[in-house]
Amino acid sequence: MEPIRKVAIVGAGLVGRGWAIVFARAGHEVDIYDGNADIRATVMERIRGSLSDMHSAGLVDAVEPVMRRLAVRESLEAAISDADYIQESVLEVRDVKEAVCLEIDRAMRANAVVGSSSSGIPASAFTESCANRSRFLIAHPVNPPYLIPLVELVPAPWTDPDVVPWLRHEMEAVGQAAIVVRKEVEGFVLNRLQGALLNEAWALLEEGVASAADIDLTVSHGLGYRWSFMGPFETIDLNAPGGIADYARRLGPLYHSIARSRTKPDPWSGKLIRKAEEERREKLAASGLAERSAWRDRNLMALVAYKRRSKA
């Protein structure tokens, strides 16, 4: 399979815009289409704003050369007909994904590849009727993909096996870190890991073991320090003198006992959500959420710059 030259973005909300930056920053020509005319009219300025912030943080050399590789098209066909790779990022609703994939299917080149940003709906749930279904798979990013590089590649049972290593290589070539999810499991890998931590956090809050603030601190000033450059297996490999098997011998029984105490998970109840909401709003008024999100993004940019320098 040939390297990507031309990319199309279908759906230019939060995630589609982020993908446009990823591909244009790496030197690809990118055509953008969104079904909403207001989004089409404003997407370039929003992208320019993100690129300016990245420029200030030293993450892109210049804004305008990246902008020149981007174009907004007025129809889906115009955006995708000569694309080698199409990134679909429309709403997370099965029927919407199916409808847009059928539209893409009719207009795409037969040998193009289509990655869907779906956070949890597997490709087999919405690409079965596509004539080119062997060219479709999930390419699930983390938001924003131009700052957090992970992408989960999840093929459907009918995805051409050559497409997966090809897209992994192409994603790495544009600076992303790709993983392959070998089976279509709900939530893929990232949201299953995130869900395990979240479910335990809610349970600890409900049981009054610690406040939401202290549970957050456990991650921000504890576990999270290592997690920005190593995962759970490498962490435990380094946390016992004899490595991972030694760690498993020492602490396996503790983790087994904890897991056995959580065999009947409850849904997150309204009462529990109110408790967390009250504590969070005391700490941060709803009017401060946007500013705090901008603070998060500035921190993320500084972390990205540091990781680049240190190759962590």
Residues that bind ligand NAD (CB under 6 A): 10-16, 34-36, 39, 89-92, 96, 100, 117-119, 140-141, 143
CB of 128 to ligand NAD, least distance (A): 18
Query: Which tokens is 145 given?
Result: 């993909």
The Cα 19–Cα 140 span in angstroms is 11
Q: Which is nearer to ligand NAD, 175 or 187 (CB)?
A: 187
**Residue sitting closest to ligand NAD (CB):** 13
Instruction: Name the 3-class secondary structure at 145.
Output: coil
CB-nearer residue toward ligand NAD: 145 or 236: 145
**Least Å from the CB of residue 118 to ligand NAD:** 5
Nearest to ligand NAD of 15, 86 (CB atom): 15
- Considering the complex, what minimum distance in angstroms separates the CB of residue 190 from ligand NAD? 9
**Cα–Cα distance for residue pair 258/256, rounded to 1 Å:** 5
| Residue closer to ligand NAD, measured from CB, 174 or 236 | 174
In the complex, the smallest distance separating the C-beta of residue 251 from ligand NAD, rounded to whole angstroms, is 33
Single-letter residue type at 279: E
Please answer whether residues 133 and 104 qualify as being in contact, where contact means their C-beta atoms are separated by less than 8 angstroms: no
Read off the amino acid at residue 24.
Answer: A
| Nearest CB to ligand NAD, comparing residues 16 and 122 | 16
- Rounded to a whole number of angstroms, the CA Rg of the chain reads 21
Closest separation between CB of residue 288 and ligand NAD, Å?
A: 20
> Taking the complex as a whole, how short is the minimal distance between the CB of residue 61 and ligand NAD, in angstroms?
27
Q: Is the peptide bond before 144 cis (omega within 30 degrees of 0)?
A: yes
Residue 301: Cβ within 10 Å count: 18
**Long-range contacts at 127-131 (CB < 8 A, ≥ 24 apart):** 127/98, 127/101, 127/156, 127/158, 128/158, 129/98, 129/102, 130/101, 130/102, 130/104, 130/105, 131/105
**Cβ neighbours of residue 31 closer than 8 Å, sequence gap 6 or more:** 6, 7, 8, 9, 71, 72, 73, 78, 79, 80, 83
Closest approach, Cβ 14 to ligand NAD, in A, equals 4
Q: Which is nearer to ligand NAD, 118 or 127 (CB)?
A: 118
Instruction: CB nearer to ligand NAD: give 116 or 247.
Output: 116
Rank residues 87 and 159 by Cβ distance to ligand NAD and give the closer one.
87
Measured from the CB of residue 144, what is the shortest distance to ligand NAD in angstroms? 8
**Amino acid occupying residue 256:** H
